[in-house]
Amino acid sequence: MAAQAQAANQAADETAEVLYANADHVATITLNRPERMNTISRAMLSQLTERLLEADADSEVRAIVLTGTGRAFCAGLDLSEVTRPGGSGGITGGASVATDLDLRNTPPTVLFNLGKPTICALNGSAAGYGMDTALGCDIRIMAEGAKMAGAFTKRGIVPESGGTWFLPRLIGWSKAAELIFTGRTLSAAECLEMGLVSSVVPAAELAGAARALALEIAANAPLAVQASKKMMRMGLSEGFNDHVHHVFLQLLPLMRSQDAAEGMRAFMEKRTPEFKGR
């Protein structure tokens, strides 16, 4: 009976629309709807939020990799749910649009507020919601054949999941306006040139490159990495003097941590530090 239960659980995991794995302090979250180019269904929205929060709450996780199966990273929201006759009328359900939406537990908001560093491994093209999701990660690595398409205006909508916030900050107002207004599709080389991604690698090397980077990050003091991310986020919306003050307040508890003492001892002893996250 135990063997049958284990086999059933394994089969369920393999067919889940969002996969989760954790090894060597790196959590890998995989969009797993390849037959639909990983378009996001309503079920996937909640599953992705749950997996992101699970990784962030796990003290053993020091870095998160987000990727997809098949030939696309994410082709956006599943429009079949929006356009299906007799359907709900939209991905959020209901025929009318609410004016008091609670977006605190939606994937874009959760992704932005994660304490752990995130890496998006763009195994294939990212369009619409998929592009916004990739932009919401701290670092992006892209397969050579992948593309980004912010085709929102071609569908009669706006970048609803963070694109209008991320793009001007990543590439400046003029280039962001051009991309959003035209809904243009970008090649991997163009994404790299614009600074939308950190690197472009052959598709066969993508998973290894993303994991190697995640492991490099995970080898550092996790409290310091997470504090650095927090300070970077705060710095986006505050003046220099306020920011320096907040950095100092963040530094004080870090200086009293076991990891800070270990980092300094390891430096003096010319050895690799062993951080514990304490």
**Tell me, what CATH number does 102's domain have?**
3.90.226.10
* C-beta separation of 21 from 28 below 8 A: yes
Residues 202 and 264 grouped into a single domain:
no
* C-beta separation of 67 from 73 below 8 A: yes
Residues 244 and 209 grouped into a single domain:
no
Residues 63 and 182 grouped into a single domain:
yes
276 located within any domain: no
Residues 66 and 111 grouped into a single domain:
yes
For residue 236, give both structure tokens: 């986006």
The pLDDT value given to residue 277: 84
What is the spatial order of strands in the sheet that 26-31 belongs to?
18-23, 26-31, 63-68, 118-122, 139-143, 199-201
Last residue of a domain, one of 177, 196, 218: 218
128 located within any domain: yes
Residues 147 and 240 grouped into a single domain:
no
Residues 126 and 187 grouped into a single domain:
yes
Residues 144 and 232 grouped into a single domain:
no
40 located within any domain: yes
CA distance 230 to 226: 6
- End-to-end, the C-alpha distance of the chain in Å comes to 41
Residues 212 and 260 grouped into a single domain:
no
Q: pLDDT of the chain along its 278 residues, tens only?
A: 444 434 434 444 667 999 999 999 999 999 999 999 999 888 899 999 999 999 999 999 999 999 999 999 999 887 665 555 544 444 444 444 445 556 677 888 899 999 999 999 999 999 989 999 999 999 999 999 999 998 887 778 777 788 889 999 999 999 999 999 998 999 999 999 999 999 999 999 999 999 999 999 999 999 999 999 999 999 989 899 999 899 889 889 988 998 888 888 889 989 898 888 89
Measured CA distances, 272 to 44, 98, 224, 230 (Å)? 40, 54, 16, 25
The pLDDT value given to residue 78: 79
pTM of the model: 0.85
277 located within any domain: no
For residue 195, give both structure tokens: 């600074």
273 located within any domain: no
Residues 228 and 175 grouped into a single domain:
no
Look up the domain containing 262 and give its range. 222-268
Residues 197 and 120 grouped into a single domain:
yes
186 located within any domain: yes
The pLDDT value given to residue 35: 92
The pLDDT value given to residue 79: 67
Residues 246 and 192 grouped into a single domain:
no
Residues 147 and 80 grouped into a single domain:
yes
278 located within any domain: no
275 located within any domain: no
For residue 268, give both structure tokens: 């003096």
**CATH number of the domain to which 249 belongs:** 1.10.12
- Burial class of 246 by CB neighbour count within 10 A (0 to 12, 13 to 18, 19+): middle
Question: How many domains, in total, are found in the chain?
Answer: 2
